Chains A and B, each alone.
Chain A
Amino acid sequence: MDWEIVIGLETHVQLSTASKIFSDSSTAYGALPNTQASAGDMALPGTLPVMNRMAVERAIQFGLAVSADLALRSVFDRKHYFYPDLSKNYQISQLDHPIVSGGSLTFFVGETETTVRLTRAHLEEDAGKSLHEHFTGPHGESSSGIDLNRAGTPLLEIVTEPEMRSAAEAVAYARALHGLVVWLGICDGNMQEGSFRCDANVSVRPRGQSTLGTRTEIKNVNSFRFLERAILYEARRQIELIEDGGRVVQETRLYDADRDETRSMRSKEDAHDYRYFPDPDLPALVITPEWIARVRDAMPELPARRRARFQSALGLSAYDAAQLTMQRATADYFEAVVQALPEGQAKPAANWVLGELAAALNREERDIGDSPVNPAQLAALIARIVDATISNKIARDVFAAMWEGEHGADADAIIDARGLRQITDTAAIAALIDEVLAAHAGIVEQYRAGRDKAFNSLVGQVMRAAKGKANPQQVTDLLRERLDG
């Protein structure tokens, strides 16, 4: 049978505020356990939550960026469950009246443009962490403990409609969302530290069926690669289960990256009754249109807008423009290169940023911000191709040298030092051609006998004689002149 996979994603985005969502303790990652837990984070008697307006502004920014509806009045609810790392034993979240509703995200899956609709995005607080390793109790004994440093870190939970149809699409969505929240500066995007966490709702159904199959929720996916593998594993598990005559049970499953499998965590039967009710400690969150306008005015140019500009003003293809605007740092880098070049050179700039530079960054797993070649240096290199000082091929060698920091990554210095300047002197090229024709009379004969390939071979011989430095167009022109003239 032909199966269709249906995927919806719930993403927990840690908002990059200096202090927590309902207290003034720091959100910085990596401090000693419980050194960033205030009385409120510890749920000490008499403490009260106070809304951090910076978290609200980040939610507003997100809502504006995905063209969603912003609720002028949203409500915080308590979600109750007992767990040692949840100090109040309830989480402050938003149930029926989230701050952001609707909206959509457009991105490329391979070369196909896709739009995924969002259901909602709501504000909530993160829980603490249970520590089971490297932790000692008050008497030095090995013990489990609770670290509340993360408790109260602001989260924006972003939920999509169940309309993705492949693991690749889900990953492309997650990457686009990641790019957007980092672009907006509302999240640091650090997946290792848990700043961006995806849960996937996965179900399968025979292609053509309109009702949804029973879904499972996969938790604990902390990289794009694992997200893809977890969805692929889970879809295969569900299909095999049904084909073997079984039924999918609605449950929460945990992805185990070491074994590359998902395991049942809890089923719907023992699902929590969260006993949601409006938090009496927090009045409704009211956002004024003036506040929204102020936030909008302070926002950076959005990726969609920048993409459109790259297409219309710089003449890039939709695909290139989309690739360049996946990350704000990439787009900024690209624009800086374009700025430093003469007009009309956006295409080679895009090729270099998405090609040689991206490959080098990937190889070393570096961010573009840490690139050893800065935009001005890359532009200087591209300028030498444009003015025919070097060929594209030579330029790749020069780039490699720049990457290694040779001559302070100065393209001109490397070209001069290595004597890579292209030979454009007609007499010099003609002399080289004479040498080659004399040395390869056989190939010349083949050419005269009508074998076109022989011509390319001669061009190659001339280029070799020139150690790659001759201008290929000039060589071609002069050679034809000599042979056909």
Chain B
Amino acid sequence: MSQPPLHSTFDSIAALAGAVGRGDVDPTVLADDAMRHAQAGNGPGLFADLDAEAGNRETSDAALAGVPIGIEDRLVTRRWRSTGGSRMLAAYQSPFDATAVQDLEQAGCLTVGKLACAEFSMDSASEFALFEATPNPWDAQRQGGSGAAAAVARRLVMGAVGVDTGGSLRAGAALCGVSALRPGQGMVSRLGVIAAASSMDQVTPVARGAGDLAALLDPICHFDPQDATSLEHLNGEANRIGRVRESWQTHRMAQQAQGSRPLKNLRIGILEGDGDGLSAAVADSMEAALQTLESLGAQRVAIALSADGQAATAYHLIAAAEAASNLSRYDGVHFGFRAGRYDDVHDMIGRSRAQGFGQAIIERILLGTRVMSHGHYEALCLPAQRVRRLLAQSLRQALSQSCDLVLRPALPDTAPLLDAQTSLAVRWARDRYLAAASLTGLPALCFPGAPDPDGLPIGMQLIGPDLAEGWLLAVAECFQDVTQWHQREPEQH
């Protein structure tokens, strides 16, 4: 298709929505165009379920009318199969929509289709199980990490919403050169999230830049009585639609009032030791990002955190334990995949699980079962929980006393090759920068920094205190005003 998608000719969701609102663009035309481009541009590891007739085509005069978005397959939908990336759910049809999906459709978004993810978003580096692994839009030999991030990078959709548990969407955004905002724990309803690790599963929007993230996060960020862990209030502030948008706009206005130094007085915390183990390109990109922030008025301060060194290990132990528990419902009895041959009902359960789960998930389940089992719980799970508590305490303390926001890279290097053989230990170590937000429940925004010399994207990550979603958006947007890395577009193949 020679013409780019119509929606991609707009710089931002706000620009597109504005054009629709003024009547310059017909949302029906926009929808048809988006559906056609999604079909034509689809490839391995992108849309998992896409049917030109299945998208929600109702147009409305809502704020995001006509904005095409994709839904990562970790969220259940009535319109398409809901698989979680697992053979266990290859043909599963949900009787209800995830709350976040409902919210975005109500806000006017055109939901185009379901986007591929690794099985329950775990271990995207090894295999995707049900789907093919997503190739990187910038180098098809390399990992893209997430169908949602890759589809946004390819401009097949203007944004996507998915689930970040241990950082899969933040990592995907970093690998593909787009942005993702993992909101604070309890801010977005988990109803409809295909659970992996419940205490860390977090509905997360992915888009090109911060302004687009604000547009997609605001409608889904509210209290939901159907999710017992959803927060009604946090530190006296109501968790309601409009909170993120208002906070973002207030911070933007404050920045503008400071003239040429919009980030004046902003203290950016840099963790001691974060530079160790970074590739030269990521270290350079990190330094460049800091200098950009400093040029905007921010200052860097060094901070230290307790227990951050054990964060990745603690994350993986807790995630494995919770996943082993959550995934025990996939047994071939009530719904989902069932083995073809078996002796009795217990054999049926065993065989269905052995055949329905991919290898990486089976390893997680075995690990998680061991972590929770008698005698190991005290030795493994409780210390991991202790690390989690310590880290949460010290990160919140640093954010209230030493600095305003923390800047870290998302990953220690650029996208590995798709067929890279790496040990579990190496893969876990790659999560060291992502684990903190997952464990502490603090909001974290991942955005593209300067790419490596070959043009491969590199992602930076800003972590903020509780309720800082709007603040993170404003700072990232300020950065993006002067860098424009988020508008870089890979060559279409």
- Give chain A's interface residues, CB within 8 Å of chain B: 39, 42-51, 78, 80, 82, 84, 87-90, 144, 146, 148, 273, 275-277, 280-283
Q: Are B322 and A280 in contact (CB under 8 A)?
A: yes
Q: How far is the CB of A315 from chain B (nearest CB, A)?
A: 53
B193 interface contact, C-beta 8 A? yes
Q: How far is the CB of A103 from chain B (nearest CB, A)?
A: 28
18 A/B residue pairs, CB under 8 Å, sorted by A: A39-B95, A42-B335, A44-B95, A45-B92, A45-B195, A46-B76, A46-B96, A46-B98, A46-B192, A48-B228, A50-B225, A50-B228, A78-B325, A87-B333, A89-B329, A146-B334, A275-B369, A275-B377
B331 interface contact, C-beta 8 A? yes
Given A43-B334, A46-B194, 9 additional A-B pairs, CB 8 A: A44-B94, A46-B76, A80-B372, A84-B333, A90-B328, A148-B334, A275-B372, A281-B228, A281-B229
Contacts of A82 in B (CB 8 A): 328, 331, 346, 349
Q: How far is the CA of A138 from the CA of B447 in the complex (A)?
A: 52
Q: Are A45 and B82 in contact (CB under 8 A)?
A: yes
Contacts of B199 in A (CB 8 A): 280
Q: How far is the CB of B185 from chain A (nearest CB, A)?
A: 10
Q: Are B76 and A45 in contact (CB under 8 A)?
A: yes
Q: How far is the CB of B358 from chain A (nearest CB, A)?
A: 16
Q: How far is the CA of A445 from the CA of B94 in the complex (A)?
A: 100
B341 interface contact, C-beta 8 A? no
Task: Provide the B326-342 mask, 1 if CB < 8 A to any CB of A, else 0.
Answer: 00110101110000000
Q: Report the count of interface residues on B (CB-CB < 8 A).
A: 42
B359 interface contact, C-beta 8 A? no
Q: How far is the CA of A88 from the CA of B324 in the complex (A)?
A: 11
Q: Is the interface of B mostly helix, strand, loop or mixed?
A: loop
Q: Which of A78, A146, A273, A280 contacts B229 (CB 8 A)?
A: A280
- Give chain B's interface residues, CB within 8 Å of chain A: 75-76, 82, 84, 89, 92, 94-96, 98, 190-195, 197-199, 225-229, 321-322, 325, 328-329, 331, 333-335, 345-346, 349, 369, 372-374, 377, 381
- Kindly list the 3 A-B residue pairs having the minimum CB-CB distance in the complex, ordered from nearest: A89-B328, A280-B199, A275-B372
Q: Are A277 and B94 in contact (CB under 8 A)?
A: no
Q: How far is the CA of A273 from the CA of B228 in the complex (A)?
A: 27
Q: Are A51 and B228 in contact (CB under 8 A)?
A: yes
Q: Are B190 and A277 in contact (CB under 8 A)?
A: no
Q: How far is the CB of A257 from chain B (nearest CB, A)?
A: 26
Q: How far is the CA of A47 from the CA of B227 in the complex (A)?
A: 9
Q: How far is the CB of A22 from chain B (nearest CB, A)?
A: 9
Contacts of A88 in B (CB 8 A): 328-329
Q: Closest residue of chain A to B96, judged by CB?
A: A39
Q: Which of A48, A80, A282 contacts B325 (CB 8 A)?
A: A80
Q: How far is the CA of A39 from the CA of B194 in the complex (A)?
A: 13
Q: Which of B98, B334, B345, B377 contacts A144 (CB 8 A)?
A: B345
* Residue in A144, A146, A148, A280 with the greatest tally of chain B CB atoms within 10 Å: A280
Q: Are B346 and A44 in contact (CB under 8 A)?
A: no
Q: Are B328 and A48 in contact (CB under 8 A)?
A: no
Q: How far is the CB of B104 from chain A (nearest CB, A)?
A: 16
Q: Are A146 and B333 in contact (CB under 8 A)?
A: yes
Q: How far is the CA of A289 from the CA of B374 in the complex (A)?
A: 36
* Residue in B194, B226, B334 with the greatest tally of chain A CB atoms within 10 Å: B334
